[in-house]
Amino acid sequence: MNVIETSNLGKRYGGTWALRECTLAIPAGHVAALVGPNGAGKTTLLNLAVGLAEPAAGGVTVLGGLPAGSPAALDGIAFVAQDTPVYQNLSAADMLHLTRNLNRRFDQPYAQARLAELGIPPGRKAGRLSGGQRAQLALTLALARRPRLLVLDEPVAMLDPVARHDFMATVLTAAVDDGVSVVLSTHVLAELERVADYLILLSRGRVQVAGEVDDVLATHRLLTGPAAEADRYTERPVVHVRRAEAQAHLLVRAAADDPVPPGWEAHPVGLEELTLAYLREPGAAALPGPARGRDTQPSEVTR
């Protein structure tokens, strides 16, 4: 089952396309990181998936084929937006009460126990909580709805390292213990290798990478060799080149058993290093075939 599936999806505001011709399939059972530079269309894609926006072209379904924004879809998805929105003048207890009344399913004992565990006073207004506490309150409200899919749009961007670690630890617990699928838009690349097992990378109007992290890393290698020979390497597509006076470092799309050119050495590549390479080379070609993810075609994202 795919938790989010799009077909030629597009969204524009006025004459500007925010998302165009995006075809993508994100399978269930993963913590999927959605990565890309500012303006790549990540928030637009997530807003379309959770029903906060209507597509201008194509279509999007969730949770195995439910129309995005339909009552059945909304019942199974929890969304935490970039600014972790909570009503500043309502207390944490009031936020639990409001969320319970607005949703068909809400686990009140879980939410109360979690706030107690986090040391968040139920009578304190949300506006007086720290940034990390507000983020945890928003996440608690989302998880207490017992969703099948948790969508997070840059939820840790403004948090300090400790608050960020605690927030992501909760997300991972929900994914492992409760079987919640997670789609996480993030700029915090250091978190990727710890939390994500699926990667979607949007850049310059194309899905550059989509697939399970282990598979993506297995199709990339870092080659180190003479700087003078860097421009002559043509055996496999080159994603990024970094040159020093004597040596060059090429991140290439290649399998572990592909032959290494004479005079060169091959090394495995980490997820953060691979992601940075694609972000630095936004014109890199989209991955061919299965490496893009099941049924995935290139997409165009213009904002």
Torsion sign, CA atoms 127, 130, 131, 136: negative
**Percent above pLDDT 70 for the chain:** 91
pTM confidence score = 0.84
Q: Assign 282 a pLDDT band (cuts: 50, 70, 90).
A: low
Structure tokens belonging to residue 95: 């936020």
Alpha-helix residue ranges (DSSP H) falling in 42-86: 42-49, 71-76
**Is pLDDT at 301 greater than 60 in this prediction?**
no
| Amino acid 292: pLDDT | 34
Nearest to 194 by CA among 233, 160, 167: 167
Phi, psi of 65 (to 5 degrees): 120, 5
176-210 b/e (C-beta count within 10 Å ≥ 16 → b): eeeebbbbbbbebbebbbebbbbbbbbbbbbbbbb
Please tell me the number of Cα atoms within 13 Å of 190 on its side-chain side: 5
Torsion sign, CA atoms 58, 63, 67, 71: negative
Q: What is the torsion angle, in degrees rounded to the nearest 10, for the CA atoms of residue 173, residue 177, residue 178 and residue 179?
A: 90
| Amino acid 165: pLDDT | 87
Q: Cα separations (Å) of 207 from 237, 256, 262?
A: 16, 23, 33
Residue at token pair 């989010």: 4
Rounded Cα gap, residues 285 and 140, in angstroms: 40
Nearest to 199 by CA among 293, 105, 136, 107: 293
Structure tokens belonging to residue 72: 């059945």
| Amino acid 179: pLDDT | 92
Range of lowest pLDDT (37-41, 69-73, 111-115, 278-282): 278-282
Q: What is the pLDDT of residues 285-299, one digit of tens each?
A: 444 333 333 333 333
Q: What is the pLDDT of residues 172-224, one digit of tens each?
A: 999 999 999 999 998 878 778 888 999 998 866 567 789 999 999 999 999 99
> CA angle, 36 as apex, 286 and 190 as ends, to 5°?
115
| Amino acid 299: pLDDT | 33
Rounded Cα gap, residues 83 and 43, in angstroms: 12
β 198-203/206-212 pair status: antiparallel
Torsion sign, CA atoms 115, 117, 123, 125: negative
Q: What is the pLDDT of residues 116-143, one digit of tens each?
A: 999 999 999 999 999 889 999 999 999 9
Average pLDDT over residues 131-158: 92
